[in-house]
Amino acid sequence: MIDNKAVLITGGTGSFGKKFIETILDRYPDVKKIILYSRDELKQSIIRQKYPQNEYPQLRFFIGDVRDKERLTQACEGVDIIIHAAAIKQVDTAEYNPTECIRTNIDGAENVIHAALSCGVRDIVALSTDKACAPINLYGATKLASDKLFAAANNIRGAKEVRFSIVRYGNVMGSRGSVIPFFMDKKKEGVLPITHNEMTRFNISLQDGVNLVMFALDNHLGGEIFIPKIPSYKILDIAKAVAPECTIKEVGIRPGEKLHEEMITDADSLKTIDLGPYYAILPSVSFTYSEEDYMKHHKAKKVPFGFKYNSGTNTEWETVEGLRQLIVEHIDPNFKA
């Protein structure tokens, strides 16, 4: 899948990019090239120190912004695979800076698509979010637009051998700006601010997010939105797991925030198939493959009529003790509640 291939990761210095690099170097020692494309030279410098050039000659570092189509196209020359992870993803940041969010998340997605088509890239997987499902905030709306762009890109490829698909998942455990590191930092103050006592979220580890991308690369026909079957947690249980001795202060839901997240609505379910460990939402318009083609390729079955996938009605849940074990495994090996 990746041996002897050149892979470019937009937003490659983020949480996902770092785990992706680690995984590729471990599983595919014969990878031809890994290109980190991002606009943060400090983060690139830190990663370069971890992977010195004399030991990891396959790593390349491109300073660039996905808004810059010309620079992005230059970076994509000779590339076989693109993982599009660059985004403005903080909900409140997007609400306050809407134009900047649109330029990065929508215009940037379109630039990735055109750069891929211009340079003959074969496989493109874009990272989405549960907030793109029935969005109520600008970040989710821009990622939904991005998802639609990547799915529709399969219809403009002409004779090119190229496949565009999307992966969508929930809150990544321990990623930058996520709730667990936030609570661990607040623990010393003795008070944990919680937006709402009934709030729930989907939970996935960085490694499982990377594994989902690998699955998409290895299995996509083009146009699918791949969604993992993952557990939910209650925000209140996160607080109990991190700092049971702390006082809980309910501060109210922030602008653009949902009480529960969802990844598949009942309307989406009409185009959703069950792949076993994953679901896939099929493209609303495809001139290349029929629904039967996707079903046969993935050895899948249709989900039941009226199915929906919501963090509040999920059938699988993390426990307080289970969350503590996950914190030790994925965030801080020395953690003790």
Alpha carbon distance 275, 277 (integer Å) = 6
230 torsion bin: left (phi>0), alpha (psi -120 to 50), beta (else)? beta
Alpha carbon distance 66, 224 (integer Å) = 23
33 annotated active-site: no
- Burial code of 31-66, b = ≥16 C-beta within 10 A, e = fewer? bebbbbbbbeeebbeebeeebeeeeeebbebbebbb
Annotated active-site residue in 5, 19, 89, 131: 131
Pair type for strands 200-204 and 191-194: unpaired
Closest CA to 14 of 206, 224, 213: 206
Alpha carbon distance 322, 51 (integer Å) = 33
Contact 101, 142 (CB under 8 A): yes
CA 37 to chain centre: 16
Alpha carbon distance 66, 68 (integer Å) = 5
Contact 216, 123 (CB under 8 A): no
Closest CA to 226 of 312, 153, 164, 155: 164
Q: Encoding tokens for residue 100?
A: 């900047």
Q: For the chain, count helices (H), then strands (E).
A: 12, 17
Contact 119, 74 (CB under 8 A): no
115 torsion bin: left (phi>0), alpha (psi -120 to 50), beta (else)? alpha
Strand partners, 34: 7, 59
Amino acid, single-letter form, for residue 174 = G
Query: What are the catalytic residues?
Result: 131
